[in-house]
């Protein structure tokens, strides 16, 4: 292999790296808004790291959204691509395109010491599914399956778009306001970067308060500084994330463990550990004991999506399953 390129493209940023000897090299992060098409971003990346387009032999892109067919439109940014046109432009014979949370799931197989924080203690069942979930620009959800040949299969999905669950009268009141504004209320309406601000504004409307904070970062900073109202909003955010994670565990039978990923939650890790996440995860009535031995980890790795794209490319080249 001359040069393999991997990318992890979300709603805000595109992360690129070279993949050599099953390792990442020359990682760069490019804002998607700065480029009209992914091909332009890749050319800029290659120029920055001193490689020509003609050196590319294999490319794997992990992209936010459902992946199928020739045309792919990104869920949370303005990019789209045609596999055929992409390959023709860059001189490739093929493009491996996978869901971004499939890549994130595969990245869990590459975690190193110090890149996990224990949230719930437990004993993972080695032959069972693992859940990967995390808020970012949207809410990503994927399932990781161990295979008998030692490889891994990642099941993509759009679990961030399931209906937001209601577990308390206050959550019902918040949902009613959201429904009035937007109709269908999915999970990532709240469980995302922009969703945290939406939750703050909706809470203020419910409580007859004038919003004082204008960005998700301000809400988080105020909560961590001990401002009671912002802290209550962030607590509700964590509680809702637990409800969704628990629903997904029951649906997929993820007794291999739960990975909480993405760039948002690690910013308030200590708050998250103390929050109602673990309680709401298990709050499933007669099935609450199902969660007794399921471990939950908060992932702090810097580029797990890129690592997962590399795993997917490696497994594709070797003829094993990647998802």
CA distance linking residue 311 with residue 80, whole number of Å: 24
* Domain layout of the chain by residue ranges: 3-105+303-318, 116-300
The whole model's pTM is what?
0.89
State residue 320's pLDDT score. 58
CA-nearest of 135, 194, 187, 130 to 164 is 187
State residue 209's pLDDT score. 97
- Three-class DSSP labels, 239-283: HHHHHHHHHHHHHHCCCCCEEECCCCHHHHHHHHHHCCHHHHHHC
CA-nearest of 171, 178, 173 to 195 is 178
pLDDT tens-digit map of 142-189? 999 998 877 889 987 888 899 999 999 999 999 999 999 999 999 999
Contact 186, 236 (CB under 8 A): no
User: For residue 192, what are the contacts with CB-CB under 8 A and spacing of at least 6?
Assistant: 135, 136, 137, 138, 139, 160, 264
pLDDT tens-digit map of 73-117? 877 678 888 999 999 998 888 899 998 889 999 999 999 989 999
Could you tell me which residues are annotated as the binding site for ATP?
Answer: 7-12
Tokens standing for residue 208: 């007859």
3-105+303-318 fold: Nucleotidyltransferase; domain 5 (3.30.420)
SS3 291: helix
Per-residue pLDDT of the chain (323 residues; tens, 9 = 90+): 467 999 998 878 899 999 988 899 999 999 999 999 999 999 999 999 999 888 888 999 998 777 777 888 877 678 888 999 999 998 888 899 998 889 999 999 999 989 999 999 999 998 999 999 999 888 989 999 998 877 889 987 888 899 999 999 999 999 999 999 999 999 999 999 899 999 999 999 999 999 999 999 999 999 999 999 999 999 999 999 999 999 999 999 999 999 999 889 999 999 999 999 999 999 999 999 999 999 999 999 999 999 999 999 988 877 755 44
Tokens standing for residue 19: 């993949």
CA-nearest of 141, 240, 124, 254 to 191 is 240
CATH number, domain 116-300: 3.40.367.20
Contact 276, 238 (CB under 8 A): yes
């Amino acid at each position: 292999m001359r040069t393999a390129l991997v990318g992890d493209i979300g709603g805000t940023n595109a992360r690129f790296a070279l993949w050599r000897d099953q390792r990442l090299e020359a990682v760069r992060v490019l804002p998607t808004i700065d480029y009209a098409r992914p091909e332009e971003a890749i050319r800029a990346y290659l120029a920055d790291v001193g490689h020509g387009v003609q050196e590319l032999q294999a490319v794997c892109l992990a992209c936010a959204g459902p992946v199928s067919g020739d045309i792919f439109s990104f869920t949370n940014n303005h990019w789209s691509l045609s596999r055929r046109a992409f390959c023709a432009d860059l001189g490739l014979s093929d493009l491996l395109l996978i869901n971004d949370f499939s890549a994130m799931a595969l990245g869990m197989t590459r975690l190193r010491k110090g890149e996990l924080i224990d949230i719930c203690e437990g004993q993972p069942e080695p032959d069972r599914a693992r859940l990967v979930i995390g808020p970012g620009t949207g809410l990503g959800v994927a399932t990781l399956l161990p295979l008998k040949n030692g490889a891994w299969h990642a099941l993509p999905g759009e679990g961030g778009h399931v209906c937001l669950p209601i577990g308390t009268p206050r959550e019902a009141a918040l949902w009613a306001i959201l429904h009035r504004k937007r109709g269908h209320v999915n999970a990532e309406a709240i469980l995302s970067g922009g969703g945290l601000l939406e939750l703050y504004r909706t809470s203020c409307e419910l409580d007859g308060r004038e919003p004082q904070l204008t960005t998700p970062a301000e809400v988080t900073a105020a909560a961590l500084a001990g401002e009671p109202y912002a802290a209550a909003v962030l607590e509700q955010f964590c509680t809702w994330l637990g409800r969704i994670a628990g629903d997904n565990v029951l649906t997929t039978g993820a007794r291999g463990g739960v990975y909480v990923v993405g760039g948002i939650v690690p910013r308030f890790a200590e708050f998250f550990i103390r929050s109602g996440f673990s309680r709401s995860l298990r709050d499933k009535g007669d099935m609450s004991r199902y969660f007794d031995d399921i471990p939950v980890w908060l992932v702090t790795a810097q580029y797990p999506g890129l690592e997962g794209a590399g795993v997917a490319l490696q497994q594709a080249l070797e003829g094993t399953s990647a998802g």
